Amino acid sequence: MKVDPEYAAFGDLFKSEPMFRIPKYQRSYAWDVHEISDFISDLEKCFENRVNGSPINHFFGGVVSVEKKVTGVVQRHEYELVDGQQRFATFILLVATLLPIYQEILDEVIQNSDITNQAIIEKRIQKLNERFIEFQQEVNRQTRTVEVLEMSKADEQFFKDLIRENNPTPTRESHNKLKYAFESLKSCVQSLTADTDLNIRLDNLEHLQLIVDADFSIIHIVTYDHKEAYKLFQVLNDRGKSLTEGDLLRAKTLELLEGFQSNQNSLESNWDEILMYTQKETDNYLRWIYSSRIGVRAGSYTLFDDYLSKIYLNPITPIDQNKSSEILNITKALKDEVILARKISKGEWPFTSRQPITSWDRNRLSLLVRELGLTVTIPILLSSFKLGEKKFAEIIWILERFLFRYKILCNQHIEAVVNIFHTESVIIRNDPSNYDISVLNNKLKSLQDTRANDAIFINSIDNMKYKVGGGNKPLKYFIMTLEHFKRWCDQNTADVPKCLDKTRVYDFSSTTIEHVYPRNAVGTTIDQGLEPIKNNIGNLTFLGPQDNRTGGNDNFSLKKPIFDQSSVGLNQLIGTYNQWSTNEVDLWNNTLKDMACKVFKLI
């Protein structure tokens, strides 16, 4: 492979109608707070030395590009950036922050009829625009406007609007990062160039231009083999920002489809949707999907290889049309599952709901994955989506009851459960129409009966305490769930727990845990017998958003009417007590434990 390395100031690359393009296989803009902070620190250091008359050179590493001839233009080339997008985009953002400051000064000098400075500023604005933003190019005797830096499809329009200060709205994570970078650089430049003296402001702006033109340097490595660019991309990283497994998969599959333009373009669009979220979110989605499809976890550092071998089945080159379509279809399905995984992880019901699925049923998903944080269920939920809405809801209720008991309260090791989830995920996918939910129920019941039986469960309930300062989500969930099943428990049925009043859906965030005996009792309200146990489950209930919250620190006789009139059935039961002493706390504690052993039990 022929390469031509050239050491140059960054500005040298932008002297004569430069054209830089981000190829399909490149990821979107990825620099975050840390990288932008470092860049600004480098800029400020160079600026200080420029002002003091002792400029320094700052080396930004190597940039690799593929040179391509521009058809219809004599002696003109464009460069595909194999490695360097983050730096190039950030440099352009920096220059773009100078233009509105120049424009502001230009408006001032025009108003003051300062013809000399007006000519200087207009010339500077024109040159900066032509060198770093856009220029006019004649192609086959027709003039067209050319972007100096053309970003990848996902970022292209947002970047164009951003550097022209058109105030675009971010729609993906890379847009948020571009906007943060631009605003941070703008704030820095405004600070460096701020002065009441016009000439000093112009000098400061010129210092910044000289930094770009002379002080910021790189090694530009040019290659002429487009196919080799994919290989280079997969082994090179931008400054301080390693490629993710998703980035590598994107590059590899786009490389495989080189020569199949239509399929490659469609593949690019699908990957843009897959990789539009934060790195952590995308990694989670890809890992959940892999576990759901393959039945095992992907390796901690081998997600790229695992996907290539197990999902894409190690495609052998050269690729033909049929194989290129197969790779595209695999990626389309992956995109659809990423969208599904995102919905489920956010607690959003993934179906277009209809009866008999109610708001109560849909709310269980949010409680499971968001409030209780049980994202370990997502692989099996991804597969269960294929069973349809009714069975999906049934599986959520099984998982919710089991995991609250087994993991959250009894704190049992999760690995055996994960193995069951992964195994059942594959079985569901292989034959969703014939899947028997009782198989999953019985496997989990076996773990429940051996590792989280009633004795262990009751002991765990006894150890539940209200925590001052937070961390009470499990406790709130526990009481709220028992409230939903109070009517069912009153019937003393041995059937699978069933909510008999699904018209009430409590907003988890707006409900509050209530101490029957006050948590902050004062004066004559203080009961020395209740003080040591006031944070125990036997002294706790909850108030819904419609309940009267007055009397929080009053004694029981004053709070009793609040419980009597509450919309919460458990509170109405508390209101039947004539007093609240250690004896009543014990009675209430036993009532809740008896209900819990019925509700949170697989049978």
Supply the pLDDT for residue 456: 97
**Which residue among 421, 452, 483 closes a domain?**
452
Per the structure block, which two tokens stand in for 580?
């609240």
Q: Are residues 97 and 10 in the same domain?
A: yes
Number of other residues whose CB lies within 10 A of the CB of residue 557: 10
Supply the pLDDT for residue 277: 94
Phi, psi of 541 (to 5 degrees): -150, -165
**pLDDT tens sequence across 458-475:** 999 999 999 998 889 999
Q: Are residues 7 and 62 in the same domain?
A: yes
Please report, rounded to a whole number, the percentage of residues in the chain having pLDDT higher than 70. Answer: 94
pLDDT higher than 90, residue 110: yes
Task: Point out which residues pair with 542 in neighbouring strands.
Answer: 513
CA gap 270, 307 in Å, rounded: 16
**pLDDT tens sequence across 552-586:** 678 898 889 888 888 899 999 999 999 999 999 99
Supply the pLDDT for residue 289: 98
Supply the pLDDT for residue 341: 98
Q: Are residues 286 and 410 in the same domain?
A: no
**pLDDT tens sequence across 425-464:** 999 999 999 999 999 999 999 999 999 999 999 999 999 9
Supply the pLDDT for residue 233: 66
Q: Are residues 75 and 206 in the same domain?
A: yes
Q: Would you say 430 and 437 are in contact if contact means Cβ atoms under 8 Å apart? A: no
* pLDDT band (50, 70, 90) for residue 30: very high
Supply the pLDDT for residue 17: 79
Q: Are residues 427 and 485 in the same domain?
A: no
Establish if 77 belongs to a structural domain: yes
pLDDT higher than 70, residue 548: no
Q: Are residues 220 and 253 in the same domain?
A: no
**pLDDT tens sequence across 121-152:** 999 999 999 999 999 887 676 788 899 999 99
pLDDT higher than 60, residue 400: yes
Supply the pLDDT for residue 579: 94
Task: Please work out, in degrees rounded to the nearest 5, the angle formed at the alpha carbon of residue 347 by the alpha carbons of 346 and 353.
Answer: 125
Please report, rounded to a whole number, the percentage of residues in the chain having pLDDT higher than 90. Answer: 75
* pLDDT band (50, 70, 90) for residue 281: very high
Supply the pLDDT for residue 598: 94
Q: Are residues 221 and 328 in the same domain?
A: no
Question: What is the rounded average pLDDT of the residues 268-296?
Answer: 96
Pairing of strands 216-223, 58-69: parallel
CA gap 209, 489 in Å, rounded: 76
Establish if 171 belongs to a structural domain: yes
Q: Are residues 46 and 67 in the same domain?
A: yes
Q: Are residues 150 and 195 in the same domain?
A: yes
**Which residue among 321, 345, 369 closes a domain?**
345
pLDDT higher than 80, residue 230: no
Establish if 467 belongs to a structural domain: no
**Which residue among 241, 275, 305 closes a domain?**
241
pLDDT higher than 90, residue 3: no
Q: Are residues 216 and 298 in the same domain?
A: no
**pLDDT tens sequence across 314-372:** 988 889 999 999 999 999 999 999 999 999 999 999 999 777 899 999 999 999 999 99
Residues in the chain, total: 603
Establish if 292 belongs to a structural domain: yes
Establish if 224 belongs to a structural domain: yes
Q: Are residues 90 and 196 in the same domain?
A: yes
Q: Are residues 229 and 255 in the same domain?
A: no
pLDDT higher than 70, residue 419: yes
pLDDT higher than 70, residue 403: yes
Instruction: State which residues form the domain around 371.
Output: 359-452
Establish if 461 belongs to a structural domain: no
Give me the chain's average pLDDT, please.
Answer: 92
Establish if 352 belongs to a structural domain: no
Supply the pLDDT for residue 545: 64
* pLDDT band (50, 70, 90) for residue 72: low
C-alpha distances in angstroms, 172 versus 91, 137, 175, 270, 273?
21, 32, 5, 14, 9
Supply the pLDDT for residue 232: 66
* pLDDT band (50, 70, 90) for residue 24: confident
Supply the pLDDT for residue 50: 95
Establish if 337 belongs to a structural domain: yes
Q: Give the number of domains in the chain.
A: 4
